[in-house]
Amino acid sequence: MLSEANKTLTIHEIIKLLPHRYPFLMVDRVLDYNEMALRAIKNVTANEPCFMGHFPENAVMPGVLITEALAQAGAILAYTKTKSSPAEHIFFLAGIDNAKFKQMVIPGDQMVLNVEITGHKANFWKIHGEATVEGKIVCSVDILSAMREVSQ
């Protein structure tokens, strides 16, 4: 499904890989990837629904959504590695460890999502992720994802 010569993914290609849709699709573009690592972006805009209720006078992106963006980037990496699709398999969040939130993410920021595979056994994938804004780490987390077959 993905061309090995083209190591970037547009939003249209991401939509083919992830089952998520608005407002839960958190990855806007994949900048580059290889067998073990991926770098993507999430543009944070004031129009996102979370900002209406999460400190509306001083909007801050919830840490759980930053973590979700990193988990989705990890799922994209796993899909590219397994050559699978959401029609065959789906990745579920199975665990979060060592989550650290170091700086606020606000509307207008562009998060760079860096993920790497740190382990893989059977249907479980360990992913380490770091989100940065303007070169500063805003979040780091270790994610465990479970790959399951889609039941027909």
Q: What is the mean pLDDT of residues 10-18?
A: 93
Q: Give the number of domains in the chain.
A: 1
Which position among 54, 89, 120, 128 bears the catalytic label?
54
Domain assignment present for residue 5? The answer is: no
The predicted model scores a pTM of 0.92
87 — pLDDT class (breaks 50, 70, 90)? confident
Host domain of residue 140: 11-149
Residue 144 lies in a domain: yes
Task: Give residue 152's pLDDT band: very low, low, confident or very high (50, 70, 90).
Answer: low
- With respect to residue 145, please indicate whether it lies within any of the assigned structural domains: yes
pLDDT at 83: 85
3 inside domain: no
Confidence of residue 36 (pLDDT cuts 50, 70, 90): very high
Mean pLDDT of all residues in 104-132: 97
Does 55 fall in a domain? yes
Q: What is the CATH number for 117? A: 3.10.129.10
**For residue 4, is it within any domain?**
no
pLDDT at residue 2 greater than cutoff 50: no
**Tokens (6 digits) for 117:** 């595979």
Q: How many CA atoms lie less than 13 Å away from 81 in the CB half-sphere?
A: 20
Instruction: Point out which residues pair with 47 in neighbouring strands.
Output: none
- Domain membership of residue 97 (yes or no) is yes
Residue 6 lies inside a defined structural domain of this protein: no
Task: Reply yes or no on whether 54 is catalytic.
Answer: yes
